[in-house]
Amino acid sequence: MNQDPFKEYIRESEPNKREKGYAWQTAIGLQAVDGLKTSKYLIDTAIRNIEGDISIDEANSLLNSYYEENPKQDPGDRTEEADKVSVRIVKVLSETGFSFTPNEYISIHKKLFTGIYRHAGKIRDYNITKKEWVLDGETVLYGNASELCDTLEYDFSEERTFSYKGLSINEIIHHLAVFVSRLWQIHIFEEGNTRTTAVFFIKYLRTLGFDATNDIFAENAWYFRNALVRANYNNFKIGVHETTEYLELFLRNLLLNEENELHNRVMHISGKFEFPPKANDESIKANIEMQKVNDKSIKANIRKQIGKIIPGLSDKTVDHILRIYEAYGTAEAFGRKDIMLLTGLKATRASEVIKLLTSAEVIETVKGHGKGKYCFIKKLSEKPDYEGSV
């Protein structure tokens, strides 16, 4: 869905509806960390819950019944996972109980992924690597499988005894960024680490007096994950050092209602993407403010153009194309590997997307960048269609 179905509730004066609206917006937005998208049925169910027609437990039961009656046909379709995890996140966020312990962290993973992952609530027993787009295909060094429990307990112990007394808000933000990035880096589960970490972190922040359920997670979930990655990666040969600066920008927006620009391409270690200008004069500040206003309209326009050029595409495929275009535009070359890293698609499906875009003359083969490289021909965002704008 292009329009946020929860905005009217977030603007509500009635606290209960507003809080539910934010919870659903956060839960659904967090699915983007794994490139997942929820169904229209979930949105409709969520609205019924916000309106007070059904409880969160009834919403969960309706969702389970829906998928029993409508089993997925495509083994690679993860919409059911996105829907079920979303409703479970809302349920966990609505619970007032919380304990700052490793068991609570593990329990949240179990609550979110039981029946979805066979390892729900279980600590992994093997080492892992994950290719990251923001690292140009490299991986973070995650926790060693033989030391996960000890490492987790150590991090919790350090945070439990840490005193925030007397710290400035900047020091608090920095410390929180270090804590959550280290917790995430352990990666104690086979899958679902980022979503579990985010939910646990939101509940922990509440104990510190912060209201962390707002639209920042919903709109910037992928940025959040990439910021966690950059906070845990070093490559001194190319001048890349681990840094929490990106994560701190995210947290300042989340906790202090600041409006820092959050761009995934700025974090890419290659430095080949265009960096947004820094606001060093009034003209640039005005341009940045205008960009904030227009960004959603431009994205909506790109989606429309993709739909016109290649009719009949699923929302998921359009999302993949949009993400590729946002990352590379018409100036940068990309290949199948880049698409796989960006979208999480398997090699065969990534090749199908390339074939689809080539046949529609949206992209073309480029030379001088190595074998199997492509570039967008059409500038999809050239003429935004601002429907209803002044």
- Domain borders along the chain are 1-95, 98-276, 295-376
Asked whether the beta carbons of 269 and 140 are under 8 A apart, the reply is no
CA distance 359 to 362: 8
* CATH number for the domain whose boundaries are 98-276: 1.10.3290.10
> Is there a contact between 212 and 24 (Cβ–Cβ < 8 Å)?
no
DSSP, collapsed to helix, strand or coil, labels residue 334 as strand
- Contact between residue 98 and residue 104 where contact means Cβ atoms under 8 Å apart: yes
Whether the CB-CB separation of 234 and 242 falls below 8 Å is answered with yes
The CATH architecture one would assign to domain 295-376 is Orthogonal Bundle (1.10)
User: What is the distance between the terminal CA atoms of the chain, rounded to a whole angstrom?
Assistant: 23
Residues 6+ apart with CB under 8 A from 304: 385
Per-residue confidence of the chain (390 residues) as pLDDT tens digits?
Answer: 446 777 777 666 587 888 898 899 999 999 988 888 899 999 999 999 999 999 999 999 999 999 999 988 888 889 999 999 999 999 999 998 999 999 999 999 999 999 999 999 999 999 999 999 999 999 999 999 999 999 999 999 999 999 999 999 999 999 999 999 999 999 999 999 999 999 999 999 999 999 876 678 888 989 999 999 999 999 999 999 999 999 999 999 999 989 899 999 899 998 876 544 444 444 444 444 444 445 566 677 777 888 888 888 888 888 888 888 888 877 678 888 888 888 878 888 889 899 889 888 888 888 766 788 888 886 675 544 333 332
SS3 call for 73: coil
- Per-residue DSSP letter, 201: H
Query: Considering the entire predicted model, what is its pTM?
Result: 0.76
Q: What share of the chain is helix, strand, coil (3-state, %, to 5)?
A: 60, 0, 40
